[in-house]
Copies of this chain bind each other. A is one copy, B any other.
Amino acid sequence: MAGKTTEREPDPGVLYGGIEAGGTKFVCTVGTGPDDIRAELLIPTRDPAATFDGAIRFFRQFTDQAAPMRALGIASFGPIETRPASPSYGRIRNTPKPGWTGTDVVGPIARALAVPIGLDTDVNSAALAEHRWGAAKGLLSFVYLTIGTGVGGGALIDGHVLQGLGHPEMGHMTVPRQEGDDYPGACPFHGDCLEGMASGPAIAERWGRSATELRGADRRRAVELEAAYLAIGIRNIVYAIAPEAIVIGGGVSTIPGFFPAVRAACRSVAGYPGLSEHRARGFIRPAGLGQRAGVFGALLLAREAVESSV
């Protein structure tokens, strides 16, 4: 990596494990960072016990070595209790994913592997990775949004993940319905919140095919409507958090024309007190690590777990 950095480089002799625990698959990785992945396993997300079992067997290979895996980071789908002091630390909260509400994603793995465990949401972990290796390098504060099966957002402020009473759930912000749009919304909890109107499933239901399969006039109209809803969400995030940049990842953000449309929609609503920096191209920027940000972030959570356990 070019340039000065105040962060310590990891000891190359130390191995970390990372899990991106998603609703459809668990990505299990061993390594130190994007350029040094030693092994990886994908496990379809089934019931918790079977899924954990597969992950534990994979990581055991590395905890039993002469130079063993030092710690494991878990970047989990949410909502999940991430405050270590809470009695429900590590437990998934109310989720539409069958069988997972109330599941402890930390305890069984920690007991089986006996290494320090770091935990955060998949979105916050991706934000950490984008800050360390991706599109947010050098920023003091930014918001990371992912637009895919759901809409999620996390913020880094002075290099720290923003959290308080739980973690942010930026995808569930209320947005005014666009004129002429009668789509009821895809969110199982709110219907027409930001996620309900702008997630991948919302696009697929509206147009009869997935965002990446759309072409021609349908794609143009879909991108325009998507941009209109995201612009309201982004504007509210800017007014609440004042980030230096908005980094956007997730499958929907890879539709051709997505970023120019979102930037144009934001400029049309930004209004007071928009700074010139808000109008710059780089203020809204594509994620740099694509689908890999979550699991790379899990390796950073592992590293943090070692540092806070010594």
Binding site for B on A (CB under 8 A): 78-79, 93-94, 140-142, 153, 155, 157-158, 160, 162-177, 189-190, 232, 235-245, 269, 271-273, 275, 277-278, 283
Bound-complex Cα distance A165 to B157 (A): 11
Q: Are B140 and A243 in contact (CB under 8 A)?
A: no
Q: Are A277 and B169 in contact (CB under 8 A)?
A: no
Bound-complex Cα distance A172 to B270 (A): 10
Q: Are A232 and B170 in contact (CB under 8 A)?
A: no
A78: chain B residues at CB < 8 Å are 273
Q: Are B273 and A239 in contact (CB under 8 A)?
A: no
Count the copies.
Answer: 2
Q: Are B275 and A174 in contact (CB under 8 A)?
A: no
Please provide the 7 A-B residue pairs with the shortest distance between their CB atoms, ordered closest to farther: A189-B272, A141-B164, A176-B176, A79-B273, A240-B240, A164-B242, A173-B236
Task: Take A94-B272, A273-B94 as given contacts and tell me if A239 and B165 are in contact as well, using a CB distance cutoff of 8 Å.
Answer: no
Q: Are A168 and B240 in contact (CB under 8 A)?
A: yes
Task: Take A176-B175, A273-B93 as given contacts and tell me if A241 and B239 are in contact as well, using a CB distance cutoff of 8 Å.
Answer: no
Q: Are B275 and A173 in contact (CB under 8 A)?
A: no
Q: Quote the shortest CB–CB distance from A115 to chain B (angstroms).
A: 28
Bound-complex Cα distance A271 to B96 (A): 14
Q: Are B242 and A162 in contact (CB under 8 A)?
A: yes
Q: Are B240 and A170 in contact (CB under 8 A)?
A: yes
26 contacts between A and B (CB under 8 A): A78-B273, A79-B272, A93-B275, A140-B164, A141-B163, A141-B164, A153-B240, A155-B240, A157-B157, A162-B241, A162-B242, A164-B243, A165-B238, A165-B245, A165-B275, A168-B239, A168-B242, A169-B239, A169-B242, A173-B239, A173-B240, A175-B176, A176-B176, A189-B272, A237-B240, A240-B241
Bound-complex Cα distance A174 to B142 (A): 20
A271: chain B residues at CB < 8 Å are 172, 189-190
A170: chain B residues at CB < 8 Å are 239-240
Q: Are A232 and B189 in contact (CB under 8 A)?
A: no
Q: Are A157 and B162 in contact (CB under 8 A)?
A: yes
Q: Quote the shortest CB–CB distance from A202 to chain B (angstroms).
A: 16
Choose from B160, B171, B172, B174 the contact partner of A158 (Cβ within 8 Å): B160
Bound-complex Cα distance A93 to B236 (A): 20
A283: chain B residues at CB < 8 Å are 165
Bound-complex Cα distance A157 to B173 (A): 20
A172: chain B residues at CB < 8 Å are 239, 271-273
Q: Are A174 and B232 in contact (CB under 8 A)?
A: yes
Q: Are A167 and B240 in contact (CB under 8 A)?
A: no
Q: Quote the shortest CB–CB distance from A251 to chain B (angstroms).
A: 22
A169: chain B residues at CB < 8 Å are 239, 242, 272-273
Q: Quote the shortest CB–CB distance from A169 to chain B (angstroms).
A: 5
A175: chain B residues at CB < 8 Å are 174, 176
Q: Quote the shortest CB–CB distance from A108 to chain B (angstroms).
A: 23
